[in-house]
Chains A and B, each alone.
Chain A
Amino acid sequence: MTLQSDGGSGGPWGSGGSGGTGGSGGGPRNPWGQPPRRPSGGGGGRGGPDFEDFIRRSQERLRSSFPGGGDRFNWMTIIGIVVLLWVVFTSFYRVDPQQRAVVSRLGKYVETTGPGMHFKLPSPIDTVIKRSVEAISTIDIGSASGESQNLMLTGDQNIIDIAYSVRWKIRDPELFLFEIAEPEQTIREVAESAMRAEIASVSLDNAIGPQRAQIAARVQERMQDALDSYRAGVEIRGVDIKQADPPKEVDDAFKDVSAAQQDAQKYLNDANAYAQQLTARAQGEAASFDKVYGQYRLAPEVTRKRMYFETMEDVLSKVDKTVVETEGVQTYLPLSEVQRSSRKAAQ
């Protein structure tokens, strides 16, 4: 009887235990699957009745122990086994590779342990809090999508709309847990103040364009300094400026500036084209004149005559000609006919 009830009581605790250690094998893991092996199983093969059976029997035993004499040994054994199992199963803990575990003994910080299985004092005495030191959290400040603006004053008293995110992770879990009351909010506020301080030290043009990367780096540095001064145990992995634009109220004016730059470039391009064209033409004409002049110098009289006649021939062959031969005769010019013929030719 005693042995059987012990087996019954071992069952439920055994189940808790094997669950706690992560299971050592497939078969014996579930004690509820074993009842057929028990000779005097009153409850059948299901878990529920078996457990009720166990409770009932324990109560019986409890009752029987009160009127003095009874079977006190059994009662003490059960408590002993329960305590023992409790001690065994709360004395180990596992830390995943990306985690660190902070162990406190009755509230006092003892140590921070790395990955692996570790031993500690049983549960109410030692408590373990695990935190990932690899997982990187992100805090977004301002939105890049444009429905709301995160306006800031720049060093030259202009206003900029800026959106950025801060990536951070826990560096020292014990500091993170014990030194700072609201870590997330603290990081956010420090980020806002650091970003504003940086933006206030640069001009709008620099903040929009060339100095973005430097600003982000300096904000990161500033944040790390501030958080270290709180001993927050937090590491800032990076600050990313997602957007740094002039506010939408003045966006048109900013676009006009780039339009003006385009315009100015266009003026210059046109002028350069004109200049190239003009110079090339001058060079061409000068070169052709030089060539002709070179020939002319060799035989000026003949060349001149030749050029004259060639030109005249060319010109007069294509025009209507009237030669007035007789001297002293008033020439009648049939102007209308001349014009008609020229019109006909034009058609």
Chain B
Amino acid sequence: MDDLRRLNPVVLIGLAFVLVVLISASVFRVSETRQAIIVRLGKPDRIVNRYDESRPIGLSGAGLAVKIPFIEQVLFIDKRVMDLDMPQQTVLSTDQLRLVVDAFARFRIVDPLRMYQTVGNEDRVAEQLSRILGSKLRNELGTQPFAALLSPERGVMMDEIQKDVNRVARQYGAEIVDVRIKRADLPPGTPLDSAFERMRTARRQEASAIRAQGYKQAQIIRAEADATASKIYADSFGKDPDFYAFYRAMQSYRTTFTDPQAGEGSSSVILSPDNEYLREFRGRRGG
């Protein structure tokens, strides 16, 4: 202690500085979101905080780690689930219909060492996988009829694609967590317009069918009403057709000769003395 104290403070500070540099060069922090490859003289030696499904965060090895200063270097690789966005694909279904498909996938690096050795970094993994996934998607969806591309069986198809791509992904130390179709649309232009046209004609057909049905129903209702009325008349008047003829004639005379709209005196009647009405008028000549 006394020796130390007798040392020149400048030397002391220098020593402290060297110590700090050494420590900072040999100790490093690995956060939960990253995996670290320690490369010794260009050769990967070991991995810290490697992704392991069975070890949840907090137990996976993140934290402080040590390396040999200046001889070993650290490479950080993302540990999280990452986004793999693919460019839009135009898929031709077996029935020659075009569909614009926009898919996405999620992946994570499960074998950082392999990834480092094969492609180098995460971006290039994404690039590779995106290309492979794109062609896989095109091939797989191209073997399906249009209707199947929209159907619930699409899920099975996507699982199939995911399985296939995962085989390739593993060669890059990656794992596809999920593949999904984000969008599957008709391309703008003719296909979209013809779909619209089809919708329009279908609706027009529906509209005219509804009108025709309504008209038909209305006709039936009217006919039934006519029939009912006829029956009511027949039931009532049929009890004495002779009296009905008389009764109705009386009503009819009233209506035709005394039309209130034409006014009084608009009709002229020439009566013969033989008329039943004038029988008494003649003083019972014939009676």
Chain A residues near B (Cβ < 8 Å): 65-66, 68, 104-111, 151-155, 157-159, 174-175, 177-182, 185-186, 189-190, 192-193, 196-197, 200-201, 204, 226, 229-232, 246-247, 249-250, 252-254, 256-257, 259-261, 263-268, 270-272, 274-276, 278-279, 281-283, 285-287, 289-290, 292-293, 296, 300, 304, 307-309, 311-312, 314-316, 318-325, 327, 331, 333, 338, 341-342, 345-346
Contact = CB atoms under 8 A, between A and B. Distances in A.
Contacts of B18: none
A200 B181 CA distance: 12
B218 A267 contact: yes
Interface size classification for chain B: 35 or more
Contacts of B270: 321-324, 331, 333
Contacts of A185: 83
Interface stretch (B39-47, B111-119, B128-136, B204-212): B204-212
A304 B178 CA distance: 98
Contacts of B203: 250, 253-254, 256-257
A126 to B, nearest CB: 11
B63 interface: yes
Chain A interface helix/strand/loop/mixed: helix
Interface of B: 9, 29-33, 57-58, 61-64, 78-83, 104, 106, 146-147, 150-152, 154-155, 177-178, 180-186, 192, 195-196, 199-200, 202-204, 206-208, 210-211, 213-215, 217-222, 224-226, 228-230, 232-233, 235-237, 239-240, 243-244, 246-247, 250, 253-254, 257-258, 262-273, 276-278, 281
B201 to A, nearest CB: 8
B269 A200 contact: no
A38 B33 CA distance: 52
Contacts of B151: 155, 200-201
Given A180-B81, A320-B265, A293 B32 contact: no
A296 B266 CA distance: 33
A315 B208 contact: no
Contacts of B213: 264
Contacts of B62: 104, 107-109
Contacts of A179: 57, 80-81
A291 to B, nearest CB: 10
Given A253-B204, A282-B228, A270 B218 contact: yes
Nearest to B6: A68
A267 B182 contact: no
B252 to A, nearest CB: 10
